[in-house]
Amino acid sequence: MRDYRLLAPIFLLSSLAAFLVVPAHADYTKRVCGGEDQANGCPVSKDIMLGCNPTEEQVGAAACSYTSNGQRKIYDYHIDREGSHDGGRCGYVWYRVTCITR
């Protein structure tokens, strides 16, 4: 007959170890598009639409802003330009923005 009482601490420790490796915060990604037609102009799906010719700072701030203690803050971010397309007054450009929450 097996004594399973010895396995209980091992199971407990392995269960706790799984929680220790999970990050407290997770980075997140948003697609931001810039162009003239705010409603239907961007040729790709987007999370955020900005006006013509946004700067990278505007793109990062739009995607990664949050409020803490009543103050607006911006997470660090990484921007990848994914594409562009002619159209409207200024064309369209879209970015994949990864907000780094750590």
From first to last of the 102 residues of the chain, give the pLDDT tens digit.
555 455 444 444 444 344 444 445 679 999 999 998 766 778 899 999 999 999 999 999 999 999 999 999 999 999 999 999 998 889 999 999 999 998
**Structure tokens given for 47:** 């999370």
CB of 30 closer than 8 Å to CB of 77 = no
How far is residue 19's CA from residue 9's CA, in Å, rounded to a whole number?
16
pTM passes above 0.85: no
How far is residue 12's CA from residue 8's CA, in Å, rounded to a whole number?
6
Domain residue ranges in the chain: 24-100
**What residues contact residue 79 under an 8 Å CB cut-off, 6+ apart?**
56, 59, 60, 95, 96, 97, 98
Question: What is the rounded end-to-end Cα distance, in angstroms, of the chain?
Answer: 50
